[in-house]
Amino acid sequence: MIDYSILVKSPLFNGISEEECMTLCSKIHYQVRKFEKDAIVVQGGEEVTNLFVVLSGSVRGEMIDYSGKTVKIEDIEAPRPLAAAFLFGKENKFPVTVTANKKSELLAIPVVEFLKLLQLNTRLLRNYLNNISTRAQFLSQKLHFLSFKTIKEKVAHFLLQQAGDRFHSFELKNTQQQLAELFGVTRPSLARVLGEMQSENLIKIEKKTVTLLDKEGLNSLLENG
Amino acid sequence: MIDYSILVKSPLFNGISEEECMTLCSKIHYQVRKFEKDAIVVQGGEEVTNLFVVLSGSVRGEMIDYSGKTVKIEDIEAPRPLAAAFLFGKENKFPVTVTANKKSELLAIPVVEFLKLLQLNTRLLRNYLNNISTRAQFLSQKLHFLSFKTIKEKVAHFLLQQAGDRFHSFELKNTQQQLAELFGVTRPSLARVLGEMQSENLIKIEKKTVTLLDKEGLNSLLENG
DNA sequence: ATCATTTTGTAACAATTGATACATTTTGCC
DNA sequence: GGCAAAATGTATCAATTGTTACAAAATGAT
């Protein structure tokens, strides 16, 4: 029924042997559901009562906006789990409608059964906790970024974070375009701010190398926020 | 040692009886640590190896900025847990330095022991998962909000979300000030936009009652983002 | 009912950012 | 080295939002 060699490659079951995985699954109720191309797996807004793991094929998340148009969000290929972050919590509803890209098989484990699994296997529990925690931490960090009002503040925070306790000089690994997207601003605006910060002798940029000339000054940009 | 009547009031142990709680704790290793006023509980950047629950007194989170100044973040009173969201995940380090506001007692449970607890008691597991999931969902929603560029878009999204499929009229439960903070804008700016949207006959506001006059119009504000 | 406090409406001006366009520099490839 | 493509620097103007200030309205307590 289940191809365990695929399942153990999923982030959730990572580090668990195929045998163990099989034993675990034998102890709970689950379903393997098959979907034809373009079949709807779950409707957005529906309550999340199952953990889904894509066993074969691929599905896509689509958000339906208020006017009825669909906007593609992301593809999920085997063996990734689906909406794992929405199994619990106050608003455990699917944020998106999920549709099969092609003929696909999905493992569906009811929440109560998944809870049993988590209590049976420490590695699985750790995997799941790490998964949603990492996600939360990512969101938290991204939010922290956006909490800075001006582009200057965002840049200052980014540079200080990148530099850390290391040297005052380091290599930029992103283009201005990529940084602009990270900050949620336009590329010329970012360039303008970088220029201003150079003429204020806060930083110096040569090709891809950034030098922090005045860490104190960069700090003070953040404090007065 | 532990005052279980307090512990069961914490969000983590909510719904678990004092007896059960006592039995659970007897099965694991833990410490009750006492801190004098202004003693440092944990240093920011330190790895999170324990789950802390404030049993008595209160502690405060303080962030140390790049120049060394401390900024108070929040107070945590008994019986709330500490940094519960940072127990797992890639970056499981304390984001803040935690200091005792007054003489306080904290329960410290090592991560591995806490994992045991989670596997022993389903209610505790559910509580914890709900706790961090709700947090992640809150962050996710907040992030979604900030992804809208203009205030009008944010307001339109908020109103359509609040209304849902229900009537076109509903009660606002927040003040403009609170909404402004949710959107990350200033209060006068929000008021101005609300005024504009009224004169454009998109919405009508009477005291705390909002009526959506033109859902289509509100939608179109979002699509052109 | 009245008064103090909070909330809301509104206005004028400043500051920041976006949009667009174009020149210049850098990069990668042949 | 030379060329095309990508990345960057820069300028101008428009649009949005913040800032500050004050008056009107609503709320809540005595």
Nearest residue (CA) to C1' of D26: B207
Give the separation between CA A4 and CA A78, rounded to whole angstroms.
12
Q: Which residues of A touch B130 (CB under 8 A)?
A: 88-90
CA of B92 to C1' of D29 (A): 48
Chain A: nearest CA to B116, how far in angstroms?
A: 8
Q: Are A204 and A211 in contact (CB under 8 A)?
A: yes
pLDDT value of residue B73: 65
Round and report the angstrom distance from CA (A58) to C1' (C29).
36
Percent of chain A with pLDDT over 70: 91
d(CA B119, CA A121): 8
Query: Mapping DSSP to helix (H, G, I), strand (E, B) and coil, where does residue B153 land?
Result: helix
User: Looking at residue A66, what is its pLDDT?
Assistant: 47
In the prediction, which pLDDT does A115 show?
93
| B129, B138, B219, best to mutate vs chain A, most A CBs in 10 Å | B129
Q: Is-contact A118 A125, C-beta < 8 A? A: yes
Report which residue is nearest nucleotide C25 when distances run from CA to C1': A207
d(CA B122, CA B133): 16
Domains of chain B, residue spans: 4-140, 148-223
Q: What is the DSSP string of A104-158?
A: EEEEEEEHHHHHHHHHH-HHHHHHHHHHHHHHHHHHHHHHHHHT--SHHHHHHHH
CB B53 within 8 A of CB B81: yes
DSSP A85-101: GGSSSTT-B-SSEEEES
Q: What is the pLDDT of residues A110-153, one digit of tens each?
A: 999 999 999 999 999 999 999 888 888 777 777 777 778 789 88
What is the predicted pLDDT for the residue at A69? 44
Mean pLDDT of chain A: 84
Closest residue of A to B119, CA-based? A119
State the residue for tokens 């847990």. B81
Closest CA to A222 of A172, A140, A158, A138: A158
Give the model's pLDDT for residue B64: 52
* CB of B147 lies under 7 Å from some atom of strand D: no
Which bin fits B197, alpha (ψ -120 to 50), beta or left (φ > 0)? alpha
How far is the C-alpha of B23 from the C-alpha of B3, rounded, in Å? 13
Q: Which residues pair with B54 in a beta bridge?
A: B106
Using DSSP's 3-state secondary structure scheme, residue B167 falls into coil
Say whether B91 and A222 touch across the interface (CB within 8 A): no
| Percentage with pLDDT > 90 across chain A | 35
pLDDT band per the 50, 70, 90 thresholds, residue A43: confident
Q: Cβ contacts (< 8 Å) between B215 and chain A: which residues?
A: 66
Calculate the angstrom distance between C1' of D12 and CA of A188: 13
Q: Which residue of B has its CA nearest to A163?
A: B66
The structure tokens listed for A59 are 């599905």
Q: How many CB atoms lie within 10 A of CB A135?
A: 18
Q: Report DSSP state, residue B10.
A: S
Instruction: List the beta bridge partners of residue B56.
Output: B105
- CATH number listed for the domain at residues A148-223: 1.10.10.10
Cβ-nearest to B133 among A88, A95, A146:
A88
Compute φ and ψ for B57, nearest 5 degrees.
85, -155
Please give the pLDDT value at position A62: 64
**Which pLDDT value is given to residue B165?**
61
Do residue A85 and residue B137 have CB atoms under 8 angstroms apart? yes
Q: Output the CA angle A128-A129-A133, nearest 5 degrees.
A: 120
CATH of A4-142, one of 2.60.120.10, 1.10.1740.10, 2.40.30.10, 1.20.120.850: 2.60.120.10
What does the alpha-carbon distance between residue A194 and residue A216 come to, in Å, rounded to a whole number? 17
pLDDT tops 90 at residue A60: no
Task: Please check the confidence at residue A213 and state whether its pLDDT lies above 90.
Answer: no
CB A71, CB B116: distance < 8 Å = no
Does residue A225 approach strand D to less than 7 Å at its CB? no
Between CA B140 and CA B145 the distance in angstroms is 9
The CATH T-level fold of domain B4-140 is Jelly Rolls (2.60.120)
Q: Is the CB of residue B182 less than 8 Å from the CB of residue B139?
A: no
User: How far is residue B12 from each of residues A17, A63, A133, B121, measured CA to CA in Å?
Assistant: 32, 33, 16, 11
What is the distance in angstroms measured between the alpha-carbon CA of A188 and the sugar C1' of C23?
14
Residues touching nucleic chain C (CB < 7 Å): A 149-152, 184-186, 188-189, 192-193, 207-208; B 172, 175-177, 187-188, 191-192, 194-195, 205, 208
Q: Considering only residues 121-160 of protein chain A, which place a Cβ less than 7 A from any atom of strand D? A: 149
Nearest nucleotide by C1' position to the A199 CA atom: D9
Mean pLDDT within A83-103: 84
Confidence of residue A90 (pLDDT cuts 50, 70, 90): confident
What residues form DSSP beta bridges with B205?
Answer: B210
pLDDT of residue B68: 44
CA to C1' distance (Å), from B188 to C10: 9
pLDDT computed for residue B111 by the predictor: 93
Residues A183-206 have pLDDT tens digits of 888 899 999 999 988 888 888 888
Q: What pLDDT score does A206 carry?
A: 81
Ranking A28-32, A218-222, B102-106, B203-207 by mean pLDDT, the lowest is: A218-222
| DSSP states along A49-97 | -EEEEEEESEEEEEEE-TTS-EEEEEEEETT-EESGGGSSSTT-B-SSE
Q: How many CB atoms lie within 10 A of CB B136?
A: 23
Closest nt to A152 (CA→C1')? C16
Please, which pLDDT band fits residue A72 given cuts at 50, 70 and 90?
A: low
- Per-residue pLDDT for chain B (225 aa), expressed as one digit of tens each? 778 898 999 989 999 999 999 999 999 999 999 999 999 998 877 889 999 999 999 898 765 544 444 555 677 888 888 878 888 888 788 878 888 989 999 999 999 999 999 999 999 999 999 988 888 877 777 777 777 878 988 898 888 877 766 667 787 888 898 888 888 888 999 999 999 888 888 888 887 888 888 887 787 777 554
